[in-house]
């Protein structure tokens, strides 16, 4: 099965250390720029229905604004309670100034 990539943002819109929520095929995705590398994970905390894009990004870790769970945006791994379920990750590639995320 062929992987399809969809443009979701511009590299100019997400500076290093920043993140942004985008919609991909009706899914809320969090895009994060960690030292010039872009990562995409589900935007919804696996513990509660909170948008991670309203939390804080420190290095490669995003902190949920509701109960403080932290997730690694590179791997999706839940790093801190109360969340115990990992986030889904999505392949990302950059073409010129376009950030593309795979629809899987």
The CATH number assigned to the domain holding 35 equals 2.102.10.10
Which tokens sit at 86? 């990992």
| Statement: residue 1 has pLDDT above 80 | no
- Amino acid 69: pLDDT: 95
pLDDT tens for residues 34-73? 999 999 999 999 998 899 999 999 999 999 999 999 999 9
- Amino acid 48: pLDDT: 87
- Percent of the chain whose pLDDT exceeds 70: 100
pLDDT tens for residues 63-99? 999 999 999 999 999 998 999 999 999 999 999 999 9
Residue 101: CA count within 13 A, CB half-sphere = 25
- Please give the Cα distance from 93 to 7 (Å, whole number): 9
**Contact (CB, 8 A) for 38 and 94:** yes
- Please give the Cα distance from 29 to 36 (Å, whole number): 18
Dihedral-angle region of residue 55 (phi above 0 means left; psi in -120 to 50 means alpha; beta otherwise): beta
Number of domains in the chain: 1
- Amino acid 58: pLDDT: 97
Q: Look up the domain containing 64 and give its range.
A: 4-103
Average pLDDT over residues 12-25: 94
- Amino acid 2: pLDDT: 82
């Amino acid at each position: 099965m062929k992987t399809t990539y969809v443009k979701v943002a511009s590299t100019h819109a997400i500076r290093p250390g920043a993140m942004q929520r985008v919609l991909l095929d009706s899914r809320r995705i969090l895009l994060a720029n960690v030292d010039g590398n872009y990562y995409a994970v589900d935007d919804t905390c696996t513990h509660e229905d909170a948008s991670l894009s309203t939390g804080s990004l420190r290095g490669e870790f995003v902190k949920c604004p509701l109960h403080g769970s932290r997730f690694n945006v590179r791997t999706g791994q839940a790093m801190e309670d109360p969340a115990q379920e990992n986030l889904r990750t999505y392949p990302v590639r950059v073409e010129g100034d376009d950030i593309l995320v795979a629809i899987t």
